[in-house]
Structure 1
Amino acid sequence: MGHSVGQVAGFAGITVRTLHHYDEIGLLVPGERTAAGHRRYTDADLDRLQQILFHRELGFPLEEVAVLLDDPAADPITLLRRQHAVLTARIGRLTEMATAVERAMEARKMGISLTPEERFEVFGDFDPEAHAEEAEHRWGSTEAYRESQRRAAARTKEDWQALTRELDEIHRAVADRMAAGDAPDAPGVTDLAERHRLFISRTSYPCDHGMHSRLGEMYVQDERFTATYDAIRPGLARYLRDAIAANEERERERERAANAVSTERGESGSSAP
C-alpha cells in the first residue's frame, strides 16, 4: 500500500487539508484507496506533489500548475530544467538583494544615507565604514558621537560633497603653509587650525580646544589617519597636530589675558572710594 495522507503531509511540510483540496480540484488525485476508501499516495503521486510544490514556490497559480503538469508534451526532465533555471535566477536576485540590505545596514550603522556608489564618489579611496566599528567602540557612549551620528544621517550626497570640498580646502591650505616653511605656531597656521576645529563643531559635534588637541594626537598615533594626511603632503599629520596644539595654547593665553584684565578691573573697582 502507498502512503497515508498524514504521512505525505509530514513528508512535504504541508497540511492534510491542502492535500484534500488538491484531490478535490483534481490537481493531485491519490493513485490508490484502501478498502475503507482512505487515500493512499503512490511514489508517482509524490513525484507529482514535488512538482506542484516547486511551481507553487515559484509563484504559479494552481490552475497553471495543473496545465503544466498535464501537458502531454512536457516531460519531467524538461520541467526540472525549467525550474532549475528559474530558481537559479531567483537565487542570484536574492543574493543581490541580501548584499544591498547588508550595505544599507552598514550605511545606517555609519549614519551615512548614501548608496555605496555615492559614498565612493564622495569619499574616494577613504572608506568611512572601515572606521565605523572602532569609532563606535571608542566613542559610542559619548554625546559627541551620538550627535555626530544624528547629523550624518540627515545628509544627502550633495551635503557630503560640499563638506568634503570644504575640508579638503582646509587641508590644502595647511599643506601650503607647511610647504612655505611656516612654523606650526605661526598666526596664519593656527588660524587654519581654528578653522579646522570650527568645521568639526559645525558639521559633527561640539569640539572644544581640548578635544581638538586629542584629535590631533590621534592623527599622529593612528597610522591610518597619519597615512591619510601624509598622502596630502608628507609630514602633514604631525604638522597639523602641532598647529592644533599651538591653537589651543593661543586660546589659553587669550583666556589668561582676559582673566587678568577682569581681575585688574575688579581690584580697581574695590579700591575706589
Structure 2
Amino acid sequence: MGTVPDAAGLTVGEVSTRLGVTVRALHHWDDIGLARPSLRTAAGYRLYTAGDVERLHRIVVYREIGVGLDRIREILADSTVDVPGALRAQRAQVAERIDRLQQLSAGLDRMVDAHERGLLLTAEQQVTILGPQWNPQWPVEARRRYGDTAQWQRYAEQSASRSPEEWQAVADTVADFERALGEAMDAGVTPGSPEANQLVDRHRDVFASYFPLTRQMQVCLGRMFEADPGFAAHYDGIRPGLAAWLRRIVDAAARVHGIDPDTATWQ
C-alpha cells in the first residue's frame, strides 16, 4: 500500500457519502480484506482509488440483493465463478423471502382487522354461524367497551387465526353448553350443588375460546348477562329466567372459592 498526498484518492468519508454505506462498513470490509484501500496519506489515513471505488460499488450491489460477504469475495476473486448461476440462486432465495413477507403482511392485516373488528366474519357469516339471534353490532359494541383491555387483545389474537369453520366449532360448543344449562335448570339443579359448580367450571372452559376467564371476571359476566337487555334476552330465549339462574350458580360457585360476588371486580 502506497503513501501519497491526500489529494490522490478519496477518503473514507467521501466514499461513504458517494456509495451510501457507513464508515463502519468500509472499515469492516478493510479489516476482513474484502475491500482494502490501495493508498494511505502520510498521516496514515485510508485513501481509495477509482479502482477501489469500482470494487466497492460491486460489493454494494451484491449486498443490496442479499449476497453474503463470503460469497461476494468468491465472486470478485475468481473469474471462473458462475456469476449468473449464483445470481439465479440468490433470486430464488429472494423470491422465497418475498413470499414469506407477503404471508407475514397478510397475517398482520388480519391481526389489525381483528383488533379493530373482533370477528373477521361478514355480517352474513356471523348470523349463519352464530345463529339468527346474533347481532353483528355486538362485536362493534364490545370493541368500544373493551378494546383497550388485555382480554380484548387475547380475543383479537385468537380471532385473527380462526377460520369460519373454526368459528363454527366454537359456536357448536357454546350451543351444546347452553343446552346443558337449560336442561339443568329444567331438572331443578340448585346453585352451589356439585352439578351446578361443574356447569360453572364448564362455562369458563367454553369461554376460553374467547379469552381466559378468572372466577371474579366470571361473576362480572354473570351480572352483565342478567342486566344487559341483549344478553338477558338471549339466555331467557333458551329458557325463561335462565339469565338470572346462570348468575346465581356463578355467584354460588364463587362463594365456595372465597369470592364475594357483591364486591368482585374484573380481574
* Alignment TM-score, normalising by the size of structure 1: 0.50
Aligned AA (2:255): E
The change in CA–CA distance for 1:212 and 1:146 in structure 2 (over 3 A counts) is same
1:200 corresponds to which of 181, 200, 207: 207
Superposed displacement of residue 134, structure 1: 2.3
1:215 is displaced (CA, Å) by 0.3
Structure-1 separation of matches of 2:222 and 2:145: 16
Runs of 4+ in 1 over 4 A off after TM superposition: 105-108
Instruction: Provide the residue aligned with 2:237 in structure 1.
Output: 231
Structure-2 residue corresponding to 1:147: 154
Q: Is the contact made by 2:115 and 2:157 (CA closer than 8 Å) also made in structure 1?
A: no
Aligned residue among 131, 135, 139 for 2:142: 135
Confirm or deny: 8 A CA contact 1:194 1:244 kept in the other structure. no
Matched residues, number: 148
Highest Rg: 1 or 2? 1
Unaligned ranges ≥5, structure 1:
1-104, 254-273
Corresponding residue number in structure 2 for 1:248: 254
Instruction: Give the residue type in structure 1 aligned to 2:247.
Output: R
Contact 1:122 1:164 in 2 (8 A): yes
Q: State whether residues 119 and 159 of structure 2, in contact with CA within 8 Å, keep that contact through their aligned partners in structure 1.
A: yes
Distance in 2 between the 1:149 and 1:127 partners? 19
> How far apart, CA to CA, are the structure 2 residues paired with 1:116 and 1:224?
17
Deviations 1:134-158 (A, max 9, x none): 2122211111111111111221111
Cα distance in 1 for residues equivalent to 2:169 and 2:114 = 19
- Secondary structure of 2:124's counterpart equals helix
- Which residues of 2 match residues 150-229 of structure 1 at below 5 A? 150-201=157-208, 203-229=209-235
Q: What amino acid is aligned across from residue 188 of structure 1 in structure 2?
A: E
Helix, strand or coil at the partner of 2:136: helix
Corresponding letter in the other structure for 2:125: E
User: RMSD between aligned alpha carbons?
Assistant: 2.1
Which has the larger share of helix?
Answer: 1
TM-score normalized by the length of structure 2: 0.51
Partners in 1 of 2:115 and 2:145 — Cα distance?
18
Deviation of 1:165 after TM superposition, in Å, equals 0.9
Q: Which amino acid aligns with 1:161?
A: Q
Q: Cα deviations across residues 185-224 of structure 1 (Å, max 9, x unaligned)?
A: 22101111111012212x1112100000000000011010
